[in-house]
Amino acid sequence: MLYTYKVAFSVSVMGVIFNFLYLVLFGSMFATTNIPSLPAAYNGDFISYILVGSIGWGFLWSIMSGTGSSLRNEMVMGTLESVLLTPTKMFTLMFSYALFGSFFGFLSMIALTLIGFVFFGFSVFANANIFTLIIFILSAAMMMGFGMIFGGLTIWLKKIGETIPLLQSIVTFFSGVYFPLAVLPAFLQPIAKYIPFYYSIQGLRLSMIPSTPIYELIYYVSIILILAVVVNIIGFYTLKRGLLKAKKDGSLAFY
């Protein structure tokens, strides 16, 4: 329902922008933009670090949200059963939802890129390369898989939407989106290795640092590729099982 109206759509884009500005202004309270704990490639500039993380995470989460939430909205409005009665295949439907999320993520990416360049003089994609594009595409495919997982669980268990904000907070915390993992206590840092989104954000950052070795970028691309395949297989299975259960229980037409 959120994306039905132009005003709501605009508000969502502005939310991404103000979240970034909130973090920047919060850091500025301490009268410094130079943070020694940041990776050397950023020269201590936390604004550019947050900007890259915000762009990457905003784009990826938009795809997952667009895939999972759109399916939920179909159930809320009672149109999912009618849609499934058409010749449209489920993969086509989910891919369309993912494209919609990509469009929203692309708009937020443009907005943040312009803000970074106009107000902070930072060109985010100045050092982007083919690996940056590959990581974006593979990560988008992975997020579609996660969207299908949540969509399938929504059909199966119904109201699980309350858990998504909590999941987003936990994932953002351990993925190095807004701060480097080095600032976390030592016993928490290994958890990031088990968070799929960590590899997308970290790979995206490294792909835009010219000094990053090719083998390191290939390492991240390989992991994201494997994750994308595995997550989509699980997503299709979860979605299929959810649909079968809902049809059996007669609960497909309502939320």
Biggest CA-to-CA distance, the chain: 61
Residue 18, in any domain of the structure: yes
Residue 10, in any domain of the structure: yes
Over its C-alpha atoms, the chain yields an Rg (Å, rounded) of: 19
pTM comes to 0.82
Q: What is the pLDDT of residue 255?
A: 57
3-state DSSP of 110-146: HHHHHHHHHHHCCCCCCCCCHHHHHHHHHHHHHHHHH
Residue 166, in any domain of the structure: yes
Q: What is the pLDDT of residue 180?
A: 84
Neighbours of 169 (CB within 10 A): 10
Q: What is the pLDDT of residue 5?
A: 47
Q: What is the pLDDT of residue 28?
A: 64
Residue 192, in any domain of the structure: yes
Residue 40 belongs to what domain range?
6-249
- If one counts the domains in the chain, the total is 1
- Tell me which residues of the chain have a pLDDT lower than 50: 1-3, 5
Question: End-to-end CA distance of the chain, in Å?
Answer: 14
Residue 1, in any domain of the structure: no
Q: What is the pLDDT of residue 95?
A: 82
Q: What is the pLDDT of residue 1?
A: 43
Residue 254, in any domain of the structure: no
Q: What is the pLDDT of residue 41?
A: 63
Predicted confidence (pLDDT) per residue in 188-211, tens digit: 889 988 999 999 999 999 999 888
Residue 112, in any domain of the structure: yes
Interatomic CA distance for residues 123 and 59, integer angstroms: 17
Q: What is the pLDDT of residue 224?
A: 96
Residue 242, in any domain of the structure: yes
